[in-house]
Amino acid sequence: MSKPKVLFYVQHLLGIGHLKRATTLARAMTDAGLQVTVVSGGEYVPVIDDSGMEFVQLPAIRAEDRTFKTLVNMKGAQLSDALKEKRRNKLLNLFNEICPEILMIELFPFGRRQLEFEVLPLLDTANGADMRPIIVSSVRDILVEKNNSSREADMVKKAKAYFDHILVHGDPNLIAFEETFPLASELRHMLHYTGYVVERESFVHSQNKIGLGEVIVSSGSGAVGELLLRSALRIRKFTYLSEVKWRLLAGHYMPEEVFESIRASADKGVMVERARPDFISLLQNCRLSISQGGYNTVMEVLATGANGIAVPYAGGRETEQTLRVKLMEKRGLIRQIPEGQLSDKILIEAVNGTQNQTRNKKFKINMDGAIASANLVATWAKELKDSYA
């Protein structure tokens, strides 16, 4: 008997967090007996583990800047109608070729409105298929504030028109979906909290000792990442960890000239590298993590028990990292420095404040989101297959 098929559409625009979470979910679904195809619309990143799934790359596009208002191709030019058509045709052809039992769309309709030129045709095609798939939205715990009631009403309208289920990859005991999406009550019958999505298997059985006793400083791409890495270089000698190795990890989107400049200014005892696929092992073994506040990184810090300092990204209208890290800080799980307050003095104080801190694994946050999501999707796929048998 053939395995139920899942087509999972994801688009990352600036960082790689959305793609990383999608591939983590895809591996869990593969383990649950599903045949998963991930179709990605952002630039391919070598640090992403796409093993165990079929990975299809659309012609890549990205956000022009931190505001996310304008999409551009990888050369920085605004999207042409020809590129939009090429992406849309490839996506629709892939759907018709696979005929999936499950169609998963990452973030939409709660974001990615700029991608409606291809997402809505995909959803229309799925809804009109002879064997209509179960259509699922995969969304993180916290949405970016919209401050626009008509925009939120449109999200509800599209969710009801196109989707069967909404997987919320969070824990309502930490933050409920309605706290950042006020109209969530209108979709209550569709919502399924899964817990946070973390690569638990990557460290539960790991014997890797890389990064043992180190300070791991990790950043995203662009100006904010550069600021954090350069700050770490300057303050190391003023901390109680001045004699241990510091490993600085730059995002793969950081321009090469910026990366090389940071590496050239590193003192002895400081290693500057691009982001690595074994990041979880580094966290598991490190003395301290200094990072931004993205979903994946914060949850990996928490899951591994690492002592963490987070400088949440707050560019443009981004609010989700700040809110998540504040909630973690209130529970004593991480230390926070707001992006606008980052200075050498404050970072030194934050690092030195961890001197007597022990690793923390005593938390009551559901972090089994990958397995829970996979089990739900597998159940829906089997029910659909049985209904057509």
Which residue intervals of 189-342 are DSSP H helices?
Answer: 201-204, 222-235, 256-264, 279-285, 295-304, 320-330
User: Could you tell me the residue ranges of all domains in the chain?
Assistant: 5-198+367-388, 202-352
pLDDT of residue 43: 86
pLDDT of residue 254: 86
Q: What is the pLDDT along the chain (389 residues), one digit of tens a residue?
A: 689 999 999 998 877 889 999 999 999 999 999 999 999 999 887 777 788 899 999 999 988 776 677 888 888 889 899 999 999 999 999 999 999 999 999 999 999 999 999 999 999 999 999 999 999 999 999 997 766 778 999 999 999 999 999 999 999 999 999 999 999 999 999 999 999 999 876 655 567 788 999 999 998 755 568 899 999 999 999 999 999 999 999 988 888 999 999 999 999 999 999 988 889 999 999 999 999 988 999 999 999 999 999 999 876 566 888 999 999 999 889 999 998 899 999 999 999 999 998 887 777 899 999 999 999 999 999 999 888 76
CA dihedral 367, 373, 374, 380 (to 10 degrees): 160
pLDDT of residue 187: 97
Task: State pTM to two decimals.
Answer: 0.92
Distances (CA, A) of 272 to 156, 167, 218, 230: 45, 37, 10, 11
pLDDT of residue 317: 63
Rounded to whole angstroms, how far apart are CA atoms 109 and 97? 24
Backbone angles phi, psi at 11, to 5 degrees: -135, 115
pLDDT of residue 106: 97
Q: Does domain 202-352 have CATH number 3.40.50.2000?
A: yes
pLDDT of residue 66: 67
| Average pLDDT along the chain | 91
pLDDT of residue 201: 66
Q: Residue 214's closest CA among 263, 142, 282, 297?
A: 282
By DSSP bridging, strand 270-274 and strand 246-250 are parallel
pLDDT of residue 224: 62
Same fold, 5-198+367-388 and 202-352: yes
* Tokens 């919209």 belong to residue: 146
pLDDT of residue 203: 58
Give CA 213 to chain center in angstroms: 26
CATH ID of 5-198+367-388, from 3.40.50.460, 3.40.640.10, 3.40.50.2000, 3.30.200.20: 3.40.50.2000
Q: Is the peptide bond before 109 cis (omega within 30 degrees of 0)?
A: yes
